[in-house]
Amino acid sequence: MNTRRKNRLYVVVAILVGLSLATALVMYALRSNIDLFYTPSEILYGKGEAHTLPEAGQRLRVGGMVMPGSVKRDEKTLRVSFKLYDAKGVVNVSYEGILPDLFREGQGVVAQGELQAGNLIQAKEVLAKHDEKYTPPEITDAMNKNHQGTAAALPQGDRS
C-alpha cells in the first residue's frame, strides 16, 4: 500500500472514530434528560408487551387522576402528598412547592419527578390538566381506556 492510500485510510478511520465518540457522548447526555411517560398501572405492572418496569431512581412523568380524599398537606411546609390512579393502579406522589391553580381531587395531572422505592414518585413539577376544546384522537382513546374505572372500583389493597 502506498503512502497516499495509507494517509487516506488513517483520515477515514480518524473521522469514523470521532463521529462514533461524538454520537456516544450525545446519547449519554440525552439519556440523563429523557423523562418517559407512564400511567400508574404501567409503573405497577410494566410498560409495553415486555412489561418493562421502571427502576428506582429513574426520571419519569406520571399521568393520572388525583384520587379523591388522598391529598394531604403539611401545615408547616409546602409539602403535599397525594395519590394518582387510573383504571388499574394507584401510585403515591410527594411534592414540595406551590401546586397549580387547577389542581384538585378528581382532576387529571402529570407529575414529573423521580421514582423512589415503594412506587413513590418524588415530584419536582406538577402540571394540572386544563379544560381543552380539542384533544387528539389518540390521547382521547388512551384516556378513555385508562380512566374507565373510578377510584371506588379499585381493589381495596391499592387504595391505601
CA angle, residues 10, 13, 16, in degrees to nearest 5:
150
Round to whole Å and give the CA distance between 94 and 47. 22
Check the annotation: does 38 bind a ligand: no
CA dihedral 118, 124, 130, 135 (to 10 degrees): -70
CB atoms within 10 A of CB 80: 19
Check the annotation: does 147 bind a ligand: no
Binding site residue list:
130, 134
Binding site residue list for heme:
130, 134
